[in-house]
Structure 1
Amino acid sequence: MSRIVQLDGLRGLFIILITINHVNTPLTEFTYQPLGYVSAAEGFVFLSGLVAGLVYYKRLARTGLRKVVVGAIQRARTIYIYHLISLFIVCAVGYYSIIHYHYWTEVLTRFFQTPVQSLVLSLFLLYQPDFLDILPLYCLLLLSLPFLMYQFRKGNSRWVLAVSIGIWGMSQLGLGLSYKATKLLASYLPGAELSYMDIFAWQILFVAGVYLAYRRASGNELRVPSYMIWPAIAIITVLTLNRFNVLGKTEDMWWNLIDKHRLGPLRLINFGALVIVIDFLMRSYRGLFAQSWLVILGKHSLQVFSLHIVLIFLLLPMVAYYSDNNSIALLALVGFILVCLYLLAWVRERKKHVQKVAVLA
């Protein structure tokens, strides 16, 4: 079974988890960071680098670096367009609908205060409210893909990884694009709002994914020794117990170590342990993440992810207003959104299949 198929299935699973978490149902307590201090967002960014690397390394072998550069730019442009469409829909509804205005006031504060400036800044990815900050991150990271691939092929892996770790380290020292940078930027450009996720920190996940893809494409796949599964499980178990306060409420003592927007060191260790365990499961149970419905969601992750944002912004205020955040109503909303996401992915997959058949005919 193709590794990309398994990874697409895993991406589909992450999209489901992200959807549940964004709606904030009773399930969210268990779906948000269920295995320690790692959320689906980290996995989504890492898989984006890994899958992009696997796909573009095949293209590199067939067509050369120039085609890879063109392909990466075109893909980044597509992501950029989907992001802007989603953002403009969300802002328009929030601006003209009283219910949506009040519900999303905290998320869209800067837009409601300075709508024109915010929309103009969004064209330069300088306005990224919550829920709408993953695609800009992916768009910017994807532009670095050809450079990373070229450097890895030249044998500069150690230097690239060292620089990536160094940039992540800068974020830990408060020198990244964090809240301080947002406040500074907003003082000069009213309406500006950077991503919750510091790109200085989160780039390390994307770079790691591209590096693993390079190792696989070059026939020198990085394999973790089988005995490492037990330390990884131990790390995940301890951090999961702490996450759910079984070991006592100690998060405040080491907040910087598990900080999400800067990817604290303990969070990265937790993530690495999860990668080891999931890789073991993928090798041992090849069909585990290769369920067709998950794979379809993962293959069309851009369109599915964009639709889930729009549906949540449109429907969640209505459900909250008319049901007073009733748990059953929120769960029904999640189910409805997931059905819509699957139908979109299925239609796109069906259309793709019909076009392929027509070409072969």
Structure 2
Amino acid sequence: MQRNHSIDTIRGALLLIMTINHFIWITVGWAGIQLITLQPFGQVGAAEGFILVSGLMVGLIYTGADAASNKKKLLTRAKQLYIYHLIAILAVLTIAYCFISFSQPANTFYSELFPGLIGNTVPTLVASFTLLHKPPYFDILPMYVAFLLISPFVISQLKKKRIALVITTSVLLWLGSRYFDLSTLLTLYFAEGAINTGYFSWLAWQLIFVVGICLGYYSRHQPINWFKHPAITFLVSIIALVLFVFQRNIFAQYGIHQGTLYELADKPLLGWLRIFNLFLLVYLFGYIIHRWSQALTFKPLALLGRHSLYVFSWHYVVIFSVAPIALGFFDFQPNITVCLVIVSLLIFVPALIRERNKSPKLVVEKESN
């Protein structure tokens, strides 16, 4: 099926935003640019959008007639991402030890970030290989691997016209996430700092991935005209605008501000307001793409989006390599803005390499035709 470059652009933008935010959080904690990159439209961040769009792409791409082939591709993809995740951990660990050998502040920095990996390396690595332990900021790929593994089952149920069962089960798991804490159970069996089950609850976050699969599946097989009634689009726009205004703390004197909104939009457990806000934005961006299919296309970001999972794996290596330099653990300390530019440019490396390796094949195919 024909690739939509606007969706690739959105995915690329989400990748860039996550990279910027992660780099800032591990270095200076907060920077002015996060007025734009950190939940700019309401109680929704880049991670939620990335997971939903990833589910959407699964529903669009892997729901063809050949179920066996699609299942094999999904499982192969999950295995590939699992390997990338482990390589990223090993690469960051290697980088950390290199910096530590030259700088005592770097030792403190990495030990505080990765107490298990630095202080108790072998058991923590073993736990990482089983995906029980996820170092800080390494949450999304393991979660995505798990979601890819359940995708063939979800797709099979959609093909049997059991969408009500799929959504009901997913919602019940989301509700159940409030009562099941894997971290509390596992910490009894591991040394302090050796286990970190991650920031996100998989039971909660599967909801937006599953909804993404459903949206992608029906977009491909039974398209629904979501934008048939202008009044609905207008209402969604108004509600999204209200949440945007509330997010700006304009009504803080009345007790409506980011803090009170977050109580309803808890991120690790996906509060109902976060999900509601996310779907409002998905609807509005979908409307823009529906009306003007390439309106959101921006080639550099679309490039990132086309190779999103390679870029996401690589971004760990970039941010944890540049962070000690940005923090001045050596004889020089570039301005944080300079470091942000460097980090933002470096995440394009795997996308550019893959495009370059792909180009000769395309040329051969064109010449043979």
TM-score clears 0.5:
yes
Q: How does 1:107-122 map to 2 (within 5 A)?
A: 107-122=113-128
**Quick one: distance in 1 between partners of 2:208 and 2:226?**
18
Percent of aligned positions that are identical: 30
- State whether residues 94 and 104 of structure 1, in contact with CA within 8 Å, keep that contact through their aligned partners in structure 2: yes
The letter of the residue matching 1:185 is L
Amino acid of the structure 2 residue aligned with 1:236: A
Match of 1:169 in 2: 175
Matched, 1:308 2:309: no
Deviation at 1:254, TM superposition (A): 5.4
Deviations 1:58-102 (A, max 9, x none): xx32xx111111111110011111111111111233345144332
Match of 1:105 in 2: 111
Q: Secondary structure at the match of 2:112?
A: coil
How far is the alpha carbon of 1:347 from its aligned partner? 2.5
Quote the offset at 1:251 in angstroms.
4.5
Q: 1:184 — aligned with what?
A: 185
Q: Which residue of 2 aligns with 1:227?
A: 231
> Which ranges in structure 2 are unaligned for 5 or more consecutive residues?
25-30
Structure 2 CA distance for partners of 1:36 and 1:253, relative to 1, 3 Å: closer
Separation of aligned partners in 2, 1:228 and 1:100: 53
Deviations 1:188-245 (A, max 9, x none): 1331211211111110111011001111121333524432223322232222233232
TM-aligned CA deviation for residue 143 of structure 1: 0.9
Return the letter of the residue paired with 1:246.
I
The 5 A counterparts of 1:43-82 are 43-57=49-63, 60-61=64-65, 64-82=66-84
Alpha-carbon contact 1:5-1:295 (below 8 Å) kept: yes
Q: Which of 266, 273, 288 is the equivalent residue of 1:259?
A: 266
Q: 2:147 and 2:10 mapped to 1: Cα distance? A: 20
Matches within 5 A, 1:121-270: 121-171=127-177, 174-176=178-180, 180-190=181-191, 191-221=194-224, 223-224=226-227, 225-248=229-252, 250-253=257-260, 255-270=262-277
The letter for the 1-side match of 2:285 is I
What is the match of residue 15 of structure 2?
15
1:38 counterpart residue number = 44
**Residues 318, 346 of structure 2: 8 Å contact kept:** no
Hey, what's the Cα distance between the residues in 2 that align with 1:148 and 1:268? 20
Give the gaps of 5 or more residues in structure 1. Answer: none
Task: Report the Cα offset of residue 103 of structure 1.
Answer: 2.0
Deviates most, 337-346 or 84-93: 337-346
2:297 pairs with 1:290: yes
One-letter amino acid matched to 2:70? V
- Residue 93 of structure 1 contacts residue 100 of structure 1 at CA under 8 Å; is this kept in 2? no
Q: Is the 8 A contact 2:105 2:329 kept in 1?
A: no
Distance 2:209 2:138 in 1: 18
TM-score (norm 2): 0.88
Residue type of the partner of 2:295?
A: L
What amino acid sits opposite 1:21 in the alignment?
A: N
- Please state whether the residue corresponding to 1:321 is helix, strand or coil: coil
Q: Match of 1:32, as an amino acid?
A: L
Q: Deviations over 1:7-43 (max 9, x none)?
A: 1111011111111211223201321100111001000
Structure 2 residue identity aligned to 1:349: E
Match for 1:321 among 308, 328, 334?
328
CA contact (8 A) 1:21 1:32 kept: yes
Q: Against the structure 1 CA distance between its residues 150 and 312, is the aligned structure 2 distance closer, same or farther, given a 3 Å change threshold?
A: same
**In 1, are the aligned partners of 2:44 and 2:277 still within 8 Å (CA)?**
yes
Distance 2:306 2:88 in 1: 19
Whether the 8 Å contact between 2:127 and 2:133 is mirrored in structure 1 is yes
Query: Residues 120-151 of structure 1, C-alpha deviation per residue, up to 9 Å, x if partnerless?
Result: 01111111122111111111101111111110
| Deviation readout 1:39-61 (Å, 9 max, x if unpaired) | 0100000011101221112xx32
How many positions carry a matched residue from both structures?
Answer: 351
TM-score, with structure 1 as normaliser: 0.90
TM-aligned CA deviation for residue 252 of structure 1: 4.3
Q: 2:280 aligns with which of 273, 288, 294?
A: 273
Question: Quick one: distance in 2 between partners of 1:296 and 1:189?
Answer: 42
Alpha-carbon RMSD: 2.3
